Structure 1
C-alpha cells in the first residue's frame, strides 16, 4: 500500500517541469525507471562519475555542491534545496555534445540535512528533452542557477585577490548582509513585486505594514507556487502570498549561527532585525560566496609551505584559534574550523612526502593507497597540535612485486612522520604511526591484523583496537577507502567477543553517579580533589560510542556523527542523544579552555582539573556531564 509520504513524493515529481504534460500511464512508466535514495546528514556523495547517472532532484532536505579537481582543490558551487535539480552540467551531453564539461573534475554532494533524492537516469532525461516545453522550462531553471553560480565564483575570485589583507576570521551578519532591505507594503500588487525583483536582480522582498514593521517575506518560490501555478496573478497582493512565518537574525549574530539557522529551517533568505526595525537581509548566496574569505591567508600559508616553512603553519593556525576562543565561538564550531585547517595541513604533509620520495628517485606510489588519522585528529577534537596517530593502507599486491611495494610504503610512512614532525606534530610515544610496520600494510595484511587482535583480545590489543576504531580517511584513493572500510565492517561483525572484552574494560572503569560521594574517585596528590577530563569523561564517552557504533555497523565517524547514526538506528533516543551532545561539548570546552590558558602561561599542559579552583556552576555542569557519561556507560554494558 502506498504511504502518505510516498504519495507526497510522487506528487512533487509529477509537478516538476521535466514531467509536465505526461499521461498518468506514461508518468508511471517513467517513474519506474527512477530511483529514490535516502541520504543521512553530513553524508558525502561522489556524483556524475558517468553521464548515465542522469539528474538528481531533492524531494526533501538540502545539499551543498562542490567541484574538486585532481589536485584536491575544492570550490563550493551552490546549495540545493527541496525541488531543485542537480546535474545541469550534463545537459549539453544529453543534447548531443560529445564532451562533458566536468570530465576532468569531480562533483561532490554533501548532505546538509537528512534528504530524499530522486535519481532520473539518462534514458528518461533524453526522452523528455525531445519536448520543447520541457527544454524551455529547464532552460529557465538553468539560467537562474547559472547566474547564482557565477555570482558565487566571482565573489570567491575577488576574495582570492585579497590574500594577505587582514580580515576577521569570524564575521558577523552586519559584515555580510545586504542593506537596506528592499521592501513592499502588504497591499502591493503582484506586477509591482515582479517588476522590483527583476529591476533589482533580487530573489526576495521583505513585506512591511503601514508602520514599517516586518510582517512577511516573498521569494521566487512563493511567486511560483502561489501565483504562477494558480494562473491568475492579477487577483493577488503581497499580503496574500507572502510567507508569514519568519525566522530572523541579529546584525551581531555570527556567520556560523546564521548558516545553521538556514540549514535547520531550509530557508535561503533571513531578515536582519534590530529590535522591531528591519535593517537588512542576509542570503545563503552571501554566506557561500564569502565563507572562505577570512581563511584565504591561512590556506595560502598551508598550500605554499615548503618543508622548511612548515613550522610557520602551526603559528598561523594558533592565531586563528586564539581569535575563535577570544570571540567566544562555540566549542563545536571552533573545532569544525580548526579541524578543516589541520586536515589541510596533514594532507599537504602527505603530498609533500610523496613528492620527496619522487625526488629521491623512488617514483610515485606503485598501487592505490589511503592514509588515515586516528586519535583526536580523526575525531575532529584536535585544537592544538599533539602527537601523531595515523596508519597506511594499500592495495593487495602479487608476490612478484610485494617486496618492492612494501619497501616503498615503509619509506613513505617514515617520510610522512618526518614532515608531520616538522609541522609541529610530535612523534607518538606509543609508536602508533605509519612509519611502524604494525601501522601500515595491504588490505589483506590489515584483515589478518584485525583478526589477530580479536582472537587474542589482550589488554594491549584492546588498546590498539580503541585507537584504530577512531580512524578517518584523509588522503588517497577513494575506491580503496571504500574497499578497506567494507573489509573492516565485515571483520568486526565476526568479532563480537572482542567487543564484549572492550565493554568489560569499560565496566572496570566506572564513572561515579551524582548520587554517590561524587569526588570519591577523583583524589589527587595532597588530598586535593581533581578530575582528569580525558580519562574520566572523553575517553569513556568515545569508547562507549565506538563500541555501540561497531555493534550497529557504524564506523569511520566522528563522535557526533556516531551519535546521529545511533539515533537513526534506534540505539539511542533523541532526548538521550541531546544529553550526550551537551555532555560532549561541556567536556571539550572545559579541556580547551584549561589547556589554552596553560599554553598562554607557557605551563605544561595536562587534562587534570582541581575542583577547588572552579566556581559552583562549573562544578554543577561537570557533575551533569559525568552523570550523562555514566548513563551511556550503563547503556553499553546492558547491551553487551
Structure 2
C-alpha cells in the first residue's frame, strides 16, 4: 500500500506542473493518472506506428523522440512536450480522408519515459478553457515549427548543391562512445588511451565539464614537432574551449561548423553534458562514401593499383565541386588524400628495397624524394 502511494506521489510530482493538469486538485489529478499509462522505451523503439489508430496524446517525461516519415526526421520532441496532436482531430470526430492516408511514426532517440493520455482523460480536461487553449496553441506551434524546419532544410540543401533534401540530425551520425581524460593527466596517458580505444581524438574534462580536445595532429604538431615532454600535462597541448554542437542540429549545421572553423571533431553537448562526438569522417561517410572508399583503396593499393587511385581522387574532386563545398576545404580534403597516397608509396618503396637488400644504402629523405617524383608522374 505504501509502495503504491509513493509511486502515485512520484508520478504526480512528475506531471502536476504540466499545463495539461493546470489547476487540478491532488485527488482529481490522481484519479486522472489512474486512467493514464506510463511506459519506458529504449533507443530506436517505436512509440507510434504509422498504420495504427491513435488513441490519445503522449507526454514526454524523459528523453527525446523523433517524428519521422520514411526515415526522414521531421522534428524532435523533448521532455515536457507532447506527441500525437493529429489524434485531436479523431477526438473531435473528424474522419480521415482515406484509410491509406500517409502519416508519421515516432521512435525513441534515447531512453524515453512517457505517459499515454487516452481520449477519456482528454474529454475530462477538454472543458477547461486553459487546457483547450494550451492544446490548440501547441498544435499551431508544432505546425509552424515543422514548416519552418522543412523550409530551412530545403534552403540549406540548395546552398550546398544537394539534389535531395537531407534531414539527418547530428544524433543520427554521432559516436555515442566518447573517450575522455582528466585535465591533470599527462600527454603519455592521453596517447595511450587514444591508442587503446582506436580513436583520433580525446576530450579533456575537469570536474565533469569539457575543457578541451586533443587530436592526433595535436600530439604530432604540439608535442613531437616542438619537443615537449610526454610527462607534460594535457592542458598544455589541448585546444581549449572547443566548438560544440547540439545533438538536435542538422547535418548541414555540423558540416558548416566544421568547414567554417577549420576543425575535424565536434563534441556533441546536451544540457551541459557530453553525449557524443561527430567528425568530418562521419559526415563524409554519411553524405558521400567515395572519400572513405578512396582512403581504403589508397591504404590497400599495390604498385599496379596506384593509377586507379588517381582516377578515384579525380572523381572525389568532381563530386566536391558539384556539391559547392568551399574550395579551401576541397583542397584540404584532396591534399589529405594525396598525403595518404605519398605515405603508401613510401611504404611500398621501402618494402621493395627491403626485398632487394638495398634499404641500408638509401636514407629516408632520398626515399621520400623518390616517392614524390612518382606522385608527380601519377598526377
Instruction: Tell me the TM-score range normalised by the shorter chain.
Output: 0.3 to 0.5
Query: Higher relative CO (CA 8 A, sep ≥ 6), structure 1 or 2?
Result: 2
TM-score (ref. length: structure 1): 0.27
